[in-house]
Chain A
Amino acid sequence: MASVIDAHLHLLDRQIVDRDGRLIGKVDDLELELAPGADYPVVTALLCGPMALGPRLGGRLGVWLVSAARRLRPRGDTDPVRIGFGAVTEVGPSIKLSITVEQAPTLRLEQWCLEKVISRLPGGTREAG
């Protein structure tokens, strides 16, 4: 791990990998917090999924991405998926976490694809690759 971590260079747009090596998503944005009295903000969480990516993309495409993602959400909320920075165990070519993919709810589109398409195909629910 680099001794100084540059949030833009070492964190943003990197692949997030769970405890078991499964791919969770990208660091689409970061949550910063400026504690009262502190001189500089602190990274408190990795944000991922379309709700974080959309605003960063900006423009019409960003708006479209957010509104498309909202349809997959039960209450139509727009909070991005948040992974507390405490779960990060390694910052390298990918960002490794101490939790599993199931504990990071980034999988709404994955769930939708699984339910509507993949699990309906013969062999779609098998255990092996």
Chain B
Amino acid sequence: MKKMLQVTLGILTAIGGFVDIGDLVANALTGARFGMSLAWVVLVGVFGIILFAEMSGRVGAITGRPVFDLVRERLGVRAGLANLFASFFINFLTVIAEIGGVALALELATSVNYLLWVPIVAVLLWVTIWKIKFESMERLYGLMGLCLLVFAVALWKLGPDWGSLWGDASNPTVPRGEGHPTWIYYAIALFGAAMTPYEVFFFSSGAVEERWTKKDLMLNRANVYIGFPLGAFLSLAIMACSASVLRPRGISVDTLSQVALPVSVALGKLGLAVVLIGFFAATFGAAIETLMSSGYTVAQYFGWQWGKYVAPKQAARFHVVMLVTLLLATMVTLTTIDPVKVTEYSIVLSAAALPLTYLPILVVANDREFMGDKKNSRVTNFFASIYLVIIMVVAVITIPLMLATKAGA
């Protein structure tokens, strides 16, 4: 019974935890601009994150070693360090984007300028990371993030032309007036938002934090196989809302309020209130995850004691890395840099950097010495090799495409 509760909670947490500022912006933006013609990317992305998150959780449970620990071991000391710099930088952008997202959600709720909220958000974040237990933290924000399901309710209430939404989605073509490069650029943005590397840094470290063993592989699978697809359902609901409310009116998404607009159109103030709670929870939860990922990556590269399963005084360096990252990210956010723009860049760069994270996971998940009989099955490897090709292609074309399309302008 207790096990069932744990599995249910894990699944619910995964749904809420899947969506962050990147998914919110990317899904709403592409829905408003391209209708449902990029919906297939969400499916490709979620299948990818399922594949690799399951592997990283399994590796964590069996070997007790999280992803970045293995990155250095497999890539060597120099390539590992280069990977650390790249991963840390992209993760840092994501921290900025999430902090900005929390502050923007609070601005929408209070009409107080988001910049005034930024320092308060920073303090709240620190207190949460410093004081609250790992599991409670994850659950609190994961469950609150379920408020975003209001997008599905709104969509149902809006009563869109389901046939044309489905037609757009199942028969993807580049909408008139848009070029192929731009369309592909946004496809990459969506892909990056679904497969953001911090998700596996956090997931695999979480497996160690919660002291998963072989017995918890069931929990791992349930979280990943049920939680993430439902998270993707949420993403598609956001996209469909945008496609049916914003697109016909020619509204493009440059702010967080436009992401919420379809819900207020459909459900009024009450709907908006629920959406804002969802925004807050999703971005705040992700801000915690990205901040902790900054500590995880650095500490795991150097072999320092990390984690919330020990007292802070036993993991002083880990906590200092998180504190410094938070302070720097807060300062950057306060320069009035546009959080939505930072989000767009962070997800695109994440897409470009995917092989750095996913290649080492795949290698270790196949290591018999490490994994014994829990190494990857042939089916897993079949799909993983396909994804390896996809992420390699994405990594190569992203930056040229970004320059050619002027970042999707």
Report the minimum CB–CB distance from B315 to chain A (whole Å): 8
Partner of A109 from B69, B134, B317 at Cβ < 8 Å: B317
A92–B64 Cα gap in the complex (Å)?
11
Which of B80, B131, B313, B319 gathers the greatest number of chain A CB atoms within 10 Å? B313
- Chain B interfacial residues counted at CB < 8 A: 35
The answer for the CA separation of A119 and B314 in the assembled complex, in Å, is 11
Whether B303 lies near A48 (C-beta < 8 A) is yes
Q: Is the CB of B80 within 8 A of A13?
A: yes
A7 at interface, CB cutoff 8 A:
no
- In the complex, which range does the number of interface residues on chain A fall in? 35 or more
- Across-interface contacts of A121 in B (CB, < 8 A): 130, 312
B75 to chain A, nearest CB (A): 9
Min CB gap B211→A, angstroms: 10
A121-B130, A124-B312 are contacts. A56–B369 as well, Cβ < 8 Å? no
Contact: A53 with B65, CB < 8 Å?
no
B214 interface residue per 8 A CB criterion: no
B354 to chain A, nearest CB (A): 22
- Proximity bits, B58-94, A CB within 8 Å = 1, else 0: 0000011100010011001110110000000000000
A123 touches B131 (CB 8 A): yes
> Can you list 28 A-B contacts with CB-CB less than 8 angstroms, sorted by A residue number?
A2-B369, A15-B73, A25-B303, A26-B302, A26-B303, A28-B77, A48-B303, A57-B81, A93-B65, A93-B370, A94-B63, A113-B317, A114-B316, A117-B316, A117-B323, A118-B312, A118-B316, A118-B320, A121-B130, A121-B312, A123-B130, A123-B131, A126-B311, A126-B312, A126-B313, A129-B310, A129-B311, A129-B312
B residues with a Cβ closer than 8 A to A are 63-65, 69, 72-73, 76-78, 80-81, 130-131, 133-134, 302-314, 316-317, 319-320, 323, 369-370
A residues sitting closer than 8 Å to B (CB atoms) are: 2, 12-16, 22-26, 28, 48, 53, 56-58, 61, 92-94, 101, 109-111, 113-114, 117-119, 121, 123-129
